[in-house]
């Protein structure tokens, strides 16, 4: 799913952990649950409009991604303090796989196209394994444009939940 979805769920997790656990358990469980949330949310991405390909010729895809990227950036800006811990660990899978490992692997493969270096270090292998074991029964809707309604619904639900929890954007 998209970054904003990961972010909203991460903030929700951190609020609950800090509400129900004492230090250091609140920090430890925030890290663990935020990381696990990424795996589960990505497993559910197959029921949303989440194409694995860049579709620059599809206006719907472009508009959706402009909106969702802007909302994701906005969510980072407003939640980074005081929810940076959960944001980091809810997005560390993508940060590692997309922004650290892939560029290194691309550079290595440019010199040695047959190289398999890094393949086993992708966190998304965990996502794929969990999807295969637990969520394989879900419908595959990643190319269906109506799938944005599912993600929009999740975003709305978690936004309402955060509103009900009186999310504060400042540290007390």
Q: Are 6 and 91 in contact (CB under 8 A)?
A: yes
Residue 167 has pLDDT above 80, yes or no: no
Average pLDDT along the chain: 92
Residue 170 has pLDDT above 60, yes or no: no
Model confidence pLDDT, tens digit, residues 5-40:
999 999 999 999 999 999 999 999 999 999 999 999
**C-alpha angle 71/77/83, rounded to 5°?**
110
Q: What is the pTM of this model?
A: 0.90
Tell me what pLDDT residue 161 has: 93
In degrees and rounded to multiples of 5, residue 43 shows phi and psi of -65, -35
């Amino acid at each position: 799913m998209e970054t904003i979805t990961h972010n909203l769920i991460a903030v929700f997790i951190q609020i609950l952990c800090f509400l129900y656990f004492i230090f250091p358990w609140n920090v430890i469980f925030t890290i663990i649950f935020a990381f696990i949330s990424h795996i589960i949310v990505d497993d559910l991405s197959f029921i949303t409009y989440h194409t694995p390909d860049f579709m620059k010729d599809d206006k719907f895809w472009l508009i959706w991604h402009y909106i969702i990227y802007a909302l994701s950036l906005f969510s980072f800006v407003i939640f980074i303090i005081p929810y940076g811990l959960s944001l980091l660990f809810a997005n560390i899978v993508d940060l590692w796989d997309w922004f650290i490992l892939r560029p290194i692997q691309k550079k290595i493969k440019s010199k040695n196209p047959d190289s398999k270096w890094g393949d086993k270090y992708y966190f998304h292998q965990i996502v794929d394994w969990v999807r295969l074991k637990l969520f394989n029964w879900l419908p595959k809707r990643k190319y269906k444009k109506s799938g944005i309604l599912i993600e929009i619904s999740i975003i709305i639900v978690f936004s309402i939940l955060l509103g009900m929890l009186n999310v504060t954007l400042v540290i007390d």
